[in-house]
Amino acid sequence: MARRMAHRTAVAAAAGTAMALSLTGCLGGSGDDPANGSGGTVQLPADTVLVKTSQRTGQADTFEADLTITDGGTTVRGSGDVRLRPTLAFTATLDEVRMNGQTLPAAGSQAILLNDVLYAKVPQFAQMLTGGKPWLRLNVDQAGRQAGVDLDQITSAVQRINPAEQTRMLTGSKDVRRVGQEEVEGVRTTRYTGTVTLRDALARLDPQTREKVRRWHADGSERLAFDIWVDGENLPRKLVVRGTADGRETSTVTVLYRDFGEKVTVNPPPADQVGDVGDLVGWHLGGG
């Protein structure tokens, strides 16, 4: 029983780390004021800029992002490269996890999703689950579900940083306004700020995506306050979204975007460094 519980805890923690990791170009870079027309003289309304930004990001199949999430006493920081089409794939690194003021030993953990297979590099569990091999392998459609992880959970995590979906949600705002010009990582941008009710934000999404995104707002958020920095090609370079409920802040998500449309290559870890934990998951979580 003790051995079974130890494995169950390790697999769940590894899967959870991989999920946290999944929370983290050639289309942009002119540096022109995105609030202007092609001649640089006509300032577009802020709500029109959000629509154009949503449309523009929807054309990008790939992007790179740095992500920071604060939720109650927990802070997660990570980064990754994401390929949305033709099939979802990503590589991600977990940089920091803090809970109630304590730093957890998760920095440097990595995750790869490719062909519905999730690879997680969680050093503290390697000896327990894979005989010392640094990478864990979970087939998302099979053993992963027994560990409480399925592809829908992972894709919903990616939706939280998907720039097309995020900017589309913001188009439901009725009070967005232009703040002014600022630089983000050396790129000239225009900053916009506003709020949107969660109901109006979700209404902008298709039903399938709506349900995935809804999972990330189970904290009771009723309204989202946001700031978005848009470059000269109507691409977002930075996004800060703060969930609020009853006048209090429930969570904050900060994303830095770059390299829209750049080639993203996702490769599995070397085979001799991977331990397939599918059998262990089936045995220890399935009651064997």
pLDDT tens, position by position, 121-133:
876 666 566 677 8
Banded model confidence at residue 141, pLDDT cuts 50, 70, 90: low
Range with the largest mean pLDDT of 78-92, 125-139, 268-282: 78-92
Q: Which of 54, 53, 94, 92 minimizes the C-alpha distance to 76?
A: 94
Which structure tokens are listed for 199? 């109901």
Least confident of 15-29, 174-188, 189-203, 252-266: 15-29
pLDDT band at 279 (very low <50, low <70, confident <90, very high): very low
CB burial of 118-150 (b: ≥16 within 10 Å; e: otherwise) equals bbbbbeebbebbbeebbbbbbbbeebbbbbebe
pLDDT at residue 44 tops 60:
yes
Q: Are 222 and 197 in contact (CB under 8 A)?
A: yes
Quote the pLDDT of residue 125. Answer: 65
C-alpha closest to that of 269 among 151, 98, 137: 137
Rounded to whole angstroms, the Cα distance separating 64 from 261 reads 9
Per residue in 209-243, pLDDT (tens digit) is 787 777 666 656 788 999 999 999 999 999 999 98
Q: How many domains does the chain have?
A: 1
CATH code (residue 160): 2.50.20.20
What is the domain range of residue 231? Answer: 2-24+33-285
| pLDDT computed for residue 158 by the predictor | 66
Contact 80, 63 (CB under 8 A): no
- Kindly report, residue by residue over 146-198, the tens digit of the pLDDT: 544 555 556 556 666 789 888 999 999 999 999 999 999 999 999 999 999 98
pLDDT at 29 over 70: no
Residue 132 confidence (pLDDT): 74
Q: Is residue 26 within 8 Å of 260, Cβ to Cβ?
A: yes
